[in-house]
Chain A
Amino acid sequence: MVNAVPVSEPSARAPLLQAIAMTKRYGTFAANDSIDLDLYAGEIHALLGENGAGKSTLVKTMYGLIQPTSGELRWMGEKLELTGPSDARSQGIAMVFQHFSLFDNLTVAENVALGLDGVESFAAMSARLAQVSRDYGLPLDPNREVWRLSVGERQRIEIVRALMQNPKLLILDEPTAVLTPQEADQLFTVLFRLKSEGRALLYISHKLDEVKRLCDTATILRGGKKISTCDPRKETAASLARMMVGAEIGEVKATGARATTIPRLLIQDLSLTPDDPHGVHLKNISIEVKGGEILGIAGVAGNGQDELFAALSGERLAPREGNIVIDSNAAGGLSVTARRKLGAAFVPEERLGHGTAPRMKLSENALLTGHAASHMVKHGFVDKPKTLETVDKTTKTFDVRKAKRDPEAVSLSGGNLQKFIVGREILREPGVLVVSQPTWGVDAGAAAVIRQALLDLSSRGSAVLVISQDLDELAEIADRIAVMFHGHLSPPVAAHEATREKLGLLMGGASAEADAREASHAIGA
């Protein structure tokens, strides 16, 4: 029951929070299977695991959002029962979620007020908010509307809101996923400070280098079970990855000669106002992707990547025909279907609801994008065998694991569904492929398959544009990398010259600001 925790100090101290044999079942599926975990004050504890390993379920039970099927929590030695998050907060447990729960149209202070249980006046609360944010070096203007803030600033709201409860235990769910490398460094400073104040931190991540830098202890989950608790500083990234994945991950490598001469996808001076009042304006975006090349677009989410994807796919039409050129055809005003007929293919970020209709069968989801150019439709009638054939081919080529031949999309795991979606497009041998967040929330094995497939496609002469927040992914597969910031796209840099620092600065807007300054000087002159 009790785990010997090899912490740096001898474990004379009692754990702040003890989770004993935590189990959560959904039907026959065990999301958490008898997990033990000890958290100590003044320690940053990493919870490592792939998507679906059970990390979120475990922390949600610790925060009272999920009731465990069995097992118990002990808080400072006493049995703890949580019926909801407010119970957890009253004990001194706070959580910062990966997906923010903020109201865009409200101010920072209003959002914080909504998340607090206290009874203090709004003015007092605002003052305290300003105080806490100053103290911890997390500057925030309490009177600013949330929609004006960057993703990093939004996260600050969540962190400050948590800190205002003066928590003994702070749970952070993948906090760096939305940050630039520099912003992540700033966050680490705050986390170290919280640790030195004697708080316990539970840090969920799958980024191994971060965990090695930051954490004193790491617990690794896989398939709902605890694999091990160890000192991450004494492990190598490879050994941690092995525990996480349970197998060695294949190396992704480029194959074949990669000609890079003919531009197959051109974006020329594309400016676009968003549909959504809180969307991002695209400003004079120009770039070319040559055949045989993978161009990466890095950037923190919410800087215009969604708008760019919509403009490229044809879900939003460009103002001028010539804004987008696919294989020498002006395509700015063409529909999604017409662009597919020109040999373009698209993989959106959202798997369910955008890339697929969740409650429809895979064969129907093959038809979803295949109806345009894959001979699946004859005289208005659907060739069902042909759609099933596509499912079978995709299943075989991309190792899509599923319970039956033609299940509903929603029943597949994230990784398998992503392999299906990417596979569905790649099997059409598109001349131009635009992919957004190709391996977002996907297990390492599936991610490797997908990245390899993108490399292989480009080596066959296609132009591939990858929009990704994951710098490691871009470093692995892209030939050139450009950065999006506030609707601007930086000029691309060759991947081997693109250091994390350089990209990080661009992601924070360094060169875009400089460009803007130059432009205003030019006008002034």
Chain B
Amino acid sequence: MQLVLEKRVERSTKIAILSPLLAIALTLVTMSILFAILGKNPVMALYVYFVEPLTDSFTLMEIAVKATPLVMIAVGLSLCYLANVWNIGAEGQFIMGAVCGSYLAVVTNGTDPGPWVLPAMLVMGAAGGALWAMIPALCKVRYGANEILTSLMLVYVADLIMDYLVRGPWRDPKGMNFPTTASFDPVATVPTLFETGRIHWGALAALIVVALATVMLGRTIKGFEIRVVGAAPRAARFAGFNSKKLVVFTFAVSGALAGLAGIIEVAGPVGVLQPGISPGYGFTAIIVAFLGRLNPVGILIAGLFLALTFIGGEGAQISMKIPLDLTKVFQGILLFYVLACDSLILYRIRLIASPKKAAHGTA
């Protein structure tokens, strides 16, 4: 018997939908084995991870809170990846968005400047993320620098800039020397949706982003341009699409969305600028983007699912003493399986009986 990958004539739409589900199933099996090795009951652990958070209205809202930045960032990243532009630095753009937006909150702190502050913060956050993303974009367009490296390295630069600011000029004078800014004023805070819980208007913003991206990718010439440049660069050039301009465009949009997610996170659930505002949203969003098939609606579902793993992971840490790092392991395994299962969209697996050839192969 021989396992053969055979190219399909046309991509299979059925598998395109099934592939992420298959990846999730394989991940769950692998995770069960890991739980067993750690000496935990796999059934119990999977329940705590994936079911328990869904049984409580507070954790359900927390899932939405965590999913908000993931979805926003991942939608932006999906535009890049569709166009074959590899922005790996959304984490940095997220931080710079938070930093730039926070500037206004910090300088107006305690002055009651009026309701314009929050909108202005959001604009500055988006602009900050976009500008930060321009560095790898322009390096690529101008000098041919590999955007994977430049965008990734800038994450650490952004992180250090924020660290400097909250430990230095922006540190809260009444903060007992903790590296944090003063708590943002109410006018500089994203309001919550309900009386209780932390779910905020940013969640609606994420839904609007999903809707806009769906329309853009499916209906507009710009969306078509993005897809062609990624799928067939030479055909895109023949179509008259400028791939360099598109690198700048996709980096700008994804940077702006990551920056917006950053300032919404800081001005919403967190309420101050401080190190550790992101548990790696910018990196997890890469998984969300691929798990969601680089499709905005898929990303919404995938974002909620990965948010569930964050919340479930916290729960498992508390109730079963399972290390929180296992959540990251889970996310890594998931991305691995997603990419592996994707090959089934273009190829089919066939078992071919050929004892003779097998004998030759081993000879």
List A residues at the B interface (Cβ < 8 Å): 26-27, 67, 81, 83, 313-315, 335-337, 340, 346, 348, 350, 353-360, 364, 367-369, 371-372, 377, 380-382, 384, 407-408, 410-411
Instruction: Given contact pairs A358-B231, A381-B221, enumerate 8 new A-B contacts (beta carbons under 8 Å).
Output: A27-B6, A313-B238, A314-B240, A357-B231, A359-B11, A368-B228, A368-B235, A369-B238
User: Do the beta carbons of A364 and B232 come within 8 Å of each other?
Assistant: no
Contact A315 B238 (CB under 8 A): yes
Question: Are B238 and A382 in touch, CB under 8 angstroms?
Answer: no
Q: Which of B6, B10, B239, B356 contacts A368 (CB 8 A)?
A: B239
Mask, B211-243, CB within 8 Å of A = 1, is 000000001111010011001101111111010
Question: Whose C-beta in chain A lies nearest to the C-beta of B218?
Answer: A382
7 pairs, CB–CB < 8 Å, chain A vs chain B: A83-B357, A359-B232, A371-B224, A371-B240, A377-B221, A384-B219, A408-B10
What is the number of residues of chain B that contact chain A, defined by CB distance less than 8 Å?
A: 24
| List of B residues within 8 angstroms of A83 by Cβ | 357, 360
A210 and B122 alpha carbons, distance in the complex (Å): 73
A35 to chain B, nearest CB (A): 20
Chain B residues engaging chain A, CB cutoff 8 angstroms: 6, 9-11, 219-222, 224, 227-228, 231-232, 234-240, 242, 356-357, 360
Using A357-B231, A381-B219 as known contacts, say yes or no to A364 and B224 having CB atoms under 8 A apart: yes
A382 touches B9 (CB 8 A): no
**Given A358-B232, A359-B11, A380-B238 contact (CB < 8 Å):** no
Across the interface, name the chain B residue whose C-beta is closest to A337: B240
Known contacts A353-B232, A360-B232, A411-B9: A368-B221 contact under CB 8 Å: no
Smallest CB-CB A-B distances: 5 pairs: A337-B240, A357-B232, A336-B240, A357-B235, A368-B239
How far does the alpha carbon of A377 sit from the alpha carbon of B220 in the complex, in Å?
A: 8
A122 CB to nearest B CB, Å: 31
B240 x A335 contact (CB < 8 A): yes
Given contacts A353-B232, A353-B234, A360-B227, contact A371 B220 (CB under 8 A): no
Partner of B221, one of A353, A371, A410: A371
Other-chain contact of B11, A81, A336, A408 (Cβ < 8 Å):
A408
Interface centre among B11, B219, B220, B224 (most CB of A within 10 A): B224
Contacts of B231 in A (CB 8 A): 357-360
Measured CA separation A152–B51 after assembly (Å): 69
CA distance A360 to B229 in the complex (A): 12
* Cα A411 to Cα B12 with chains together (Å): 12
Which residue on A lies nearest to B239, using beta carbons? Answer: A368
When distances are taken between beta carbons in the complex, the residues of chain A under 8 Å from B356 are 81
Cβ distance B276 to chain A, nearest Cβ, rounded Å: 41
User: Cβ of A372 and Cβ of B219 under 8 Å apart?
Assistant: no
Judge whether B222 and A380 touch: CB under 8 Å: yes
| Chain B residues within an 8 Å CB radius of A381 | 219-221
Nearest A residue (CB) for B221: A377
Would you give the shortest CB distance from A84 to chain B, in whole angstroms? 10
What are the residues of chain B within 8 A of A358 when measuring CB–CB?
231-232
With A337-B240, A346-B238 given, is the CB distance from A367 to B10 under 8 Å?
no
Contacts of B9 in A (CB 8 A): 410-411
Give the shortest distance, in Å, between A360 (CB) and chain B (any CB).
Answer: 6
Question: How long is the Cα–Cα vector from A348 to B232 in the complex, in angstroms?
Answer: 14
Nearest CB on A from B7, distance (A): 9
Residues of chain B within 8 A of A314, CB atoms compared: 240
**Are B220 and A368 neighbours in the complex by a CB distance under 8 Å?**
no
Query: Across the interface, which residues of B come within 8 angstroms of A337, CB to CB?
Result: 240
Hey, which chain B residues are within 8 Å of A380, CB to CB? 220-222
A416 to chain B, nearest CB (A): 14
Q: Is the CB of A354 within 8 A of B357?
A: no
Known: A357-B228, A381-B220, A411-B10. A315 touches B237 (CB 8 A): yes
Task: Give the nearest-CB partner of B363 in chain A.
Answer: A83
Residues A372 and B10 in contact, CB atoms below 8 Å apart: no
Contact call A355/B238, Cβ cutoff below 8 A? yes
> Which residues of chain B are within 8 angstroms of A313 by Cβ–Cβ distance?
238
Q: Which of B221, B235, B360 has its CB near the most chain A CB atoms (within 10 A)?
A: B235
Complex Cα–Cα for A358 and B221 (A)? 18
What are the residues of chain A within 8 A of B10 when measuring CB–CB? 407-408, 410-411
Question: Which residue of the partner chain, among B11, B220, B235, contacts A356 with CB atoms under 8 Å?
Answer: B235
Q: Tell me, rounded to whole Å, the shortest Cβ–Cβ distance linking B85 to chain A.
A: 17
Give chain A residues whose Cβ lies under 8 Å from the Cβ of B360: 81, 83
Which chain B residues border A353 with CB–CB below 8 Å? 232, 234-235
User: Is there an interface contact between B234 and A340, defined as CB atoms closer than 8 Å?
Assistant: no
Residue of A nearest to B236 (CB): A357
Contacts of A367 in B (CB 8 A): 221, 224
Chain A residues with Cβ under 8 A from B234's Cβ?
350, 353-354
The chain A residue sitting closest to B7, CB to CB, is A26
Give the chain A neighbours of B357 by CB distance below 8 A.
67, 83
Q: CA A407 – CA B224 in complex, angstroms? A: 17
Q: Which of B239, B240, B356, B357 has the most CB of A within 10 A?
A: B240
- Bound complex: CA A453 to CA B231 (Å): 30
A380 to B217, CA, bound (A): 12
Kindly provide the distance from the CB of B325 to the nearest chain A CB, expressed in whole angstroms.
Answer: 38
Nearest-CB distance from A385 to chain B (Å)? 12
Q: Pick the contact of B240 from A350, A356, A372 — CB < 8 Å?
A: A372
CB distance from B233 to the nearest CB of A (A): 9
The interface residues of chain B lying within 8 Å CB-to-CB of A377 are 221
Least CB distance, A400 to chain B, in whole angstroms: 16
What residue of chain A has the Cβ atom nearest to residue B242's Cβ? A335
Which B residue sits closest to A407, measured CB to CB? Answer: B10
Query: In the complex, A356→B11 CA distance in Å?
Result: 16
**In the complex, A354 Cα to B239 Cα: how many Å?**
9
CA distance A371 to B236 in the complex (A): 12
The answer on a CB contact under 8 Å between A354 and B11 is: no
